[in-house]
């Protein structure tokens, strides 16, 4: 389950992207960094990302994106949580707040969303961080 502060951000205002687009290099770098963590289902998600497109973007100005695995034959990931891996970016010099990055998987086991949020809710100010700055978090079972 998501901690409460994660659930708060789920009222996102999504703009559909039609036709679906490829992940941009900076977005893909974040997902690949998240998928470098070890957790159940990780290998299947690594396979899914090859056929994953962006189907929606958050309209608040934050970089959150809705994902869809287009390969009908893709294997569902047997993840144990809807957010099997997340990360935080330590507070930057200019603001003493952490940015959080969550990889969501839907109930069928497919990549669903890359979510960014800030502790203070000022998500529109988020810029996609340097993947090297991410501190990966796999919550215990
Ligand atoms: Zn947003």
Measured in Å, residue 121 CA sits from the centre of ligand 1 at 9
Measured in Å, residue 9 CA sits from the centre of ligand 1 at 8
- Beta-carbon contacts of 34 under 8 Å, excluding residues fewer than 6 positions away, are 85, 86, 87, 101, 103, 134, 136
Measured in Å, residue 58 CA sits from the centre of ligand 1 at 4
- Triad 126, 33, 58: Cα angle to 5°: 35
Measured in Å, residue 124 CA sits from the centre of ligand 1 at 6
Measured in Å, residue 126 CA sits from the centre of ligand 1 at 9
Look at residue 64 and tell me if it is in a domain. Answer: yes
Measured in Å, residue 60 CA sits from the centre of ligand 1 at 4
pLDDT in tens, 1-15: 344 444 444 556 899
Look at residue 6 and tell me if it is in a domain. Answer: no
Look at residue 3 and tell me if it is in a domain. Answer: no
Measured in Å, residue 91 CA sits from the centre of ligand 1 at 19
The reported pTM is 0.89
Measured in Å, residue 8 CA sits from the centre of ligand 1 at 12
Percent of the chain with pLDDT over 90: 77
**What pLDDT score was predicted for residue 1?**
34
For residue 80, give its domain range.
17-137
**8 vs 11: CA distance, rounded Å:** 7
**What pLDDT score was predicted for residue 141?**
82
Number of domain units in the chain = 1
Mean pLDDT across the chain, nearest whole number?
A: 90
Look at residue 104 and tell me if it is in a domain. Answer: yes
pLDDT in tens, 62-114: 999 999 999 999 999 999 999 999 999 887 655 567 899 999 999 999 999 99
Length of the chain: 141
């Amino acid at each position: 389950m998501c901690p409460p502060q994660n659930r708060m951000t789920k009222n996102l205002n999504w703009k559909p992207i039609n036709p679906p687009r490829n992940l941009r290099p900076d977005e893909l770098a974040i997902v690949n960094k998240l998928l470098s963590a070890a957790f159940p289902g990780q290998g299947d998600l690594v396979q899914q990302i090859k056929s994953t497109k962006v189907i929606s973007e958050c309209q608040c100005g934050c970089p959150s994106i809705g994902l869809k695995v287009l390969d009908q034959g893709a294997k569902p990931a047997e993840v144990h949580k809807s957010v099997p891996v997340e990360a935080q970016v330590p507070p930057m010099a200019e603001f003493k707040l952490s940015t959080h990055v969550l990889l969501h998987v839907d109930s069928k086991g497919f990549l669903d969303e890359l979510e960014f949020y800030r502790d203070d809710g000022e998500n529109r100010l988020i810029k996609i961080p340097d993947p090297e700055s991410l501190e990966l978090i796999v919550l215990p079972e």
